[in-house]
Every structure is written in C-alpha cells, then in structure tokens.
C-alpha cells in the first residue's frame, strides 16, 4: 500500500498532533553500542498533548464527536499520560472529561503533581478507585456512564491507553511517517530497521505492526513490555490487530507468534516502579545526549534495549529507531527517588 493512501483508508481523524515529529541520531550511544541508533521524537507531538497518545486520540476524539458525545470517560494509573492527553484534548474540543484513576487509597488520593495537576487544571473530574476496583473497571465504566446519562449527559468511553482497533490507525499513520524518515537515511529501506518501542496497553505496537505489514516495510517491531509478560501482550496486541484486520478489511498476513515480537524481562519492580539502574540510565542519557526519558515507559524500554545490546550488539541488526513515546510529566512525581542519584 502506498503511504499516502493510508489517510483515505482510515476512519475520520482530527488534526491534534504536531506531526511529522523529528527523527534524530544519537551519536554517543550509537558509538558506544556499535550500532546506528536514531530516536523518533514522538514526545514532541505537542507540549501539553505530548507523546504517543495524541496520535491515537486524533481518531478516538473524531469518533466521540461523531457519536454526539458531550463527555469522554477514560481510565488509567494515577499518573496516566493517556488520561492527561484525553483531559487536555477534551478541553480543546469543548467536551467534559471524567477520569477513572487507580490509587492505593481513594480516600487519600495522590498530591496534584505531574499529570494529575494538568488533569485538574484542564477541568477533568477525577474518580479515584482502588487497584481491586480497577480490575473490574468495566463495571465502573458502566456505573459512570449511567450516572452521566441520569444527569442528561451523553458519554463516550475510551479504553485504557486508548488502545483498540480504531486507535491503531494512529500508529499505522505514524508508520507511514517513519517510512518517509527511513527513506532519507543512508541506504534507506535497503537496510533493515528495528523499531524499538515501549508497550503498555498494546495499541502503539499493534499500529506499528499493522503499518509495517500494510506498507510492506523491511522493518522489525521490537516491543519492550513495561508490565505483565510476553503471553499477555501476544493476546492484547493480537486481539487489536485481528480486530482491526477484520473491521477495516485489511488485506495483510498476520500471525501472532510470528509478528508480535516482545522483548520481555525488563518490567523490573513492576509497572510505574523504577529500579536505581533504570533511573541512573535516564540521568546518563540526559547528561550525554540532552534527552529526557520518562521512568514508566521510555526509560524502561531504553534500559531494556541497552541491556539487550550489551548481551549481543547485533541483536537488533545495524539500525535501530527507538520511538520516544513521551511521558515526561511522569518524571516529576518520582523526583524523590532520582535525587540521591544526581550527584
Ligand atoms: C509515554 C508512554 N509511552 C508508551 C506507552 C505505551 O503505549 P501503549 O499503551 O499504546 O502500549 C504509554 C501508554 O501506555 C505512554 O504513556
């Protein structure tokens, strides 16, 4: 498929992200690892609306408006980047926003720092729930939708991380952008590229896999999971890909075991929990490359990529593009853990 024709095959889209984002070379890390490493700056898709989520929300919010909704409802962890992007996109589009966020003790919610502060400033209404309730979030969504309807509102629910078949178009389109980036690099598409990305709710990886197949690119998508494990992501990403293929009639070969490539083993202490070595790498990259990774997603994925390269410098081939999916605001609530490492 021609990259230009992707736009017309997708569902309707709002123009919210600042794209194309830059592709930058990381000279010092590349020299040290003996492999070309580039970074796709999707942390620069906007300021408040930064990161990967906004590419997805371009499609989701278009669908919400088309459905006549006046309130969007979504969920996530306390410092969810997706929740923040949704709250800000909603404010921009004059929609109300209700966020169902997870915290250990809803009677004493976390301080309004990082993404929580931005959610509050954007006027989102936050409903705090326990991790146990979060596991039954389908019921909580139904409860909130019912409440909103009783108040005369028209809700539109967005899944965790905005990951579903519709949002996959966000990273199918991004793959077309990456294809143009790759064509400008030495040896262009003749040299195989490995695209390394963090995976959390699976939608970004699903879009990249589908985009690679649709454009028939000489690329491997290697996803570093920041929670759960390989089997979990085979199921989650596989379901998004299968649903998108059926819903949009995509004529592409896809097999879960063959096409979903999970680099497992770097969850560390767990989702949104960092180890000192991960924090130390984030500081090191900031000092050496002037580049800021976040602790929850990109810091973990970058750490995983570097460990894999140390084990086998050829494991990703000659050229890597690491996608910086954003998340910078999540750095500030973890300042306490980082401070002892700063000297
Ligand atoms: C900064 C950042 N990077 C990566 C991801 C992972 O993307 P996905 O949820 O589509 O797997 C997320 C969200 O989960 C995120 O907020």
Query: pLDDT of 200-216, one tens digit each?
Result: 999 999 999 999 999 99
Statement to judge: residues 9 and 72 lie in one domain: no
In the reported structure, the alpha carbon of residue 6 is separated from the centroid of ligand 1 by a whole-number distance in angstroms of 23
> Which residue out of 198, 261, 300 has the highest number of ligand 1 atoms within 8 Å of its CB and is therefore the one to mutate?
198
Question: How does pLDDT run along the chain (343 residues), one tens digit per residue?
Answer: 665 566 545 569 999 999 999 999 999 999 999 999 999 999 999 988 899 999 999 999 999 999 999 999 999 999 999 999 999 999 999 999 999 999 999 999 999 999 999 999 999 999 999 999 999 999 999 999 999 999 999 999 999 999 899 999 999 999 999 999 999 999 999 999 999 999 999 999 999 999 999 999 999 999 999 999 999 999 999 999 999 999 999 999 999 999 999 999 999 999 999 999 999 999 999 999 999 999 999 999 999 999 999 999 999 999 999 999 999 999 999 999 999 999 8
Model pLDDT, residue 343: 84
124 and 258 housed in the same domain: no
Residue 99 pLDDT: 98
Last residue of a domain, one of 139, 162, 185: 162
Same domain, 31 and 74: no
Residues 9, 63 within the same domain: no
Residue among 84, 296, 324, 334 whose CB has most ligand 1 atoms within 8 A, to mutate: 296
207 within ligand 1 shell (Cβ under 6 A): no
Inter-residue contact 174 to 224 (CB < 8 Å)? no
As a whole number of angstroms, the distance between CA 57 and CA 88 comes to 11
- Closest residue by Cα to atom 16, ligand 1, is 81
pLDDT tens per residue, range 87-139: 999 999 999 999 999 999 999 999 999 999 999 999 999 999 999 999 999 99
**Residues catalogued as catalytic:** 80
Domain boundary among 114, 134, 162: 162
The last residue of one of the domains, among 129, 162, 195, is 162
Which pLDDT score is estimated for 41?
98
Q: From ligand 1's centre to the CA of 138, what distance in Å?
A: 20
CA atoms within 13 A on the CB side of 143: 11
- The verdict on 188 and 326 lying in the same domain is yes
Any atom of ligand 1 within 6 Å of the Cβ of 326: yes
- Pair of tokens at residue 206: 């699903």
Ligand 1 in reach of 330 Cβ (< 6 A): no
136 and 189, same domain (yes or no): no
Question: In ligand 1, which atom is closest to the CA atom of 202?
Answer: 11
Q: How far is the CA of 152 from the centre of ligand 1 (A)?
A: 33
Same domain, 184 and 282: yes
- 196 and 308 in one domain? yes
Q: Are residues 208 and 246 in the same domain?
A: yes
| Ligand 1 neighbour 199 (Cβ under 6 A) | yes
* Tokens 């890597």, residue located: 320
Q: Are residues 205 and 295 in the same domain?
A: yes
Which atom of ligand 1 has the smallest separation from the CA of 325? 3
Domain coverage including residue 334: 3-51+164-341
The structure tokens 């965790």 sit at 160
Cβ of 204 below 6 Å from ligand 1: yes
Find the CATH number of the domain harbouring 120.
Answer: 3.40.50.1100
What is the total count of domains within the chain? 2
State pTM to two decimals: 0.96
**97 and 184 co-located in one domain:** no
Closest atom of ligand 1 relative to the 43 alpha carbon: 1
Protein residue with its CA nearest to atom 14 in ligand 1: 200
Tell me if 80 CB under 6 Å of ligand 1. no
* 50 Cβ closer than 6 Å to some ligand 1 atom: no
Same domain for 109 and 122, yes or no, is yes
Number of other residues whose CB lies within 10 A of the CB of residue 41: 17
Task: Determine if ligand 1 sits within 6 Å of the CB of residue 82.
Answer: yes
Strands (E) in the chain, as ranges, are 23-25, 36-41, 71-77, 96-102, 125-129, 155-157, 193-199, 219-225, 261-263, 319-324
């Amino acid at each position: 498929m021609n990259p230009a024709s992707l736009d017309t095959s997708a569902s309707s889209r709002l123009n919210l992200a600042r794209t194309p984002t830059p592709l930058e070379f990381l000279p010092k890390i590349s020299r040290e690892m003996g492999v070309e490493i580039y970074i796709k700056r999707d942390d620069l898709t906007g300021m408040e609306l930064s990161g990967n989520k906004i590419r997805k929300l371009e499609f989701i919010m278009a669908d919400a408006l088309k459905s006549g909704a006046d309130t969007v409802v979504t969920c996530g962890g306390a410092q969810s980047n997706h929740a923040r992007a949704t709250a800000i996109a909603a404010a921009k589009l004059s929609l109300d926003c209700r966020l169902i966020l997870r915290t250990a003790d809803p009677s004493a919610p976390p301080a309004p720092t990082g993404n929580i502060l931005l959610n509050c400033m954007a006027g989102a209404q936050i409903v705090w729930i326990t991790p146990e309730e979060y596991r039954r979030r389908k019921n909580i969504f139904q409860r909130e939708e019912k409440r909103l309807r009783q108040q005369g509102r028209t809700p539109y629910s967005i899944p965790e991380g905005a990951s579903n078949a519709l949002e996959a178009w966000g990273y199918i389109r991004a793959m077309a952008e990456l294809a143009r980036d790759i064509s400008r690099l030495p040896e262009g598409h003749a040299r195989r590229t490995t695209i390394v990305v963090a995976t959390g709710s699976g939608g970004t990886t699903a879009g990249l896999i589908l985009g690679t197949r649709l454009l028939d690119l000489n690329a491997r998508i290697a996803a570093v999971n920041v929670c759960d494990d390989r089997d979990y992501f085979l199921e989650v990403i596989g379901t998004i890909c299968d649903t998108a293929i059926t819903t949009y009639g995509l004529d592409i070969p896809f097999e879960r075991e063959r096409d979903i490539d999970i680099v497992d083993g770097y969850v560390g202490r767990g989702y949104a929990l960092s180890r000192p070595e991960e924090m130390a790498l984030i500081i090191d990259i900031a000092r050496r490359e002037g580049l800021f990774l976040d602790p929850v997603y990109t810091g973990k994925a970058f750490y995983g990529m570097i460990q894999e390269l140390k084990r086998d410098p050829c494991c990703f081939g000659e050229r890597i593009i690491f996608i910086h999916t954003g998340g910078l605001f999540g750095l500030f609530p973890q300042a306490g853990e980082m401070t002892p490492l700063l000297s």
